[in-house]
Structure 1
Amino acid sequence: MNTEDYVSYPLALALKKARFDEPCDHYWYKAYANSDEMSMRQASADDFNSDDWDVPHCSAPTLAQAQKWLREKKKIDVLVWNCACGYGWEVSKAENGTGLILFDDNGDNKDSGCWTSYESALSAGIAAALELIEKEGE
């Protein structure tokens, strides 16, 4: 498992809040009740987004699965592009390509404001799309 291909725990919580409900091959869980540290574990078919367990947990989709869910269920497209400075992202309407948000120069490359990896740019774009969904009250 390459953890950079999966959404972070805060992003997983935001997806859950936006009603992401697809089965995933991994999930985030709290290993110890008195700890704030979250871990990722491989899931069985019914191990996602449950509040019924003794140990809180939520889905850990891949970045690609979250991107596809946003496009198909919420009609929001997160696009990643690259240039000489690194990677950037854009959020647009999936039906017609109308731009909603362009990346915000807060990438991990402090000189350019871009991101140094495709995955980190995609994660930032997904986070921005979920914030947009939350503001619109979907």
Structure 2
Amino acid sequence: MNNEDYVSYELALKLKACGFDEPCDHYYIKDNAPDGTAWIVPTTYREDFNADSYFPFCKPLCSAPTLAHAQKWLREEKGIDVLVWNCSCGYGWEISKADTQSRGTTLMVYDDNGEDKDSGMWLTYENALYAGIVVALQFIDN
């Protein structure tokens, strides 16, 4: 798995603020980083690194889920589905939510402001998924 398959440190912090508390096999740490950036650290076990009591001497610390893990958490725990689709121009995303009042899925938002300025699409599936997850987290009340 590549580092591109994991959420960024900034997105990991947003997930933590929205209640992400699932075990992960990587975590971010910012302490002792000479350049002030966060480091992603692999572990041999899966743990909820977002727990406040976990490694209290290494703050700030947060879990580093994969994009797919974050997508699954949003769908299963928050009822928000981030869908990625492709076309001849690239990849796009949309967010839908199961709505009990309409007894179906309600399209909440989609975007076509991707990296390709001509088509508005994203160049990779992962970039489109990342953009969709960022917007989906804005629908969650923290």
TM range (shorter): 0.7 to 0.9
CA contact (8 A) 1:50 1:57 kept: no
Q: Give the counterpart of 2:135 among 89, 111, 128.
A: 128
The alignment-based identity, stated in percent, is 59
Question: Which has the higher Rg, Structure 1 or Structure 2?
Answer: 2
**Which digits, 9 at most, give the CA deviation of each residue in 1:85-134, with x for residues without a partner?**
1100000014632100111x32111221110000000000000000121x
Report the AA paired with residue 132 of structure 2: G
Q: Give the counterpart of 2:109 among 95, 101, 105.
A: 101
Q: How does 1:45-56 map to 2 (within 5 A)?
A: 45-46=46-47, 48-51=49-52, 52-56=56-60
Count of residue pairs the alignment pairs up: 134
Distance 1:111 1:80 in 2: 19
Report the AA paired with residue 23 of structure 1: P
Q: How does 1:1-138 map to 2 (within 5 A)?
A: 1-32=1-32, 35-43=35-43, 44-46=45-47, 48-51=49-52, 52-94=56-98, 96-103=104-111, 105-133=112-140, 137-138=141-142
Question: Under a length normalisation based on structure 1, what TM-score does the superposition of the two structures give?
Answer: 0.88
Deviation at 1:30, TM superposition (A): 1.0
Q: Tell me, what secondary structure is at the counterpart of 2:94?
A: strand
Q: Tell me, what secondary structure is at the counterpart of 2:105?
A: coil
Q: Tell me, what secondary structure is at the counterpart of 2:16?
A: helix
CA contact (8 A) 1:76 1:129 kept: yes
Aligned alpha-carbon RMSD (Å) = 1.8
The farther-off stretch of 22-31 and 35-44 is 35-44
The farther-off stretch of 66-75 and 23-32 is 23-32
Q: Tell me, what secondary structure is at the counterpart of 2:128?
A: helix
Report the AA paired with residue 62 of structure 1: T
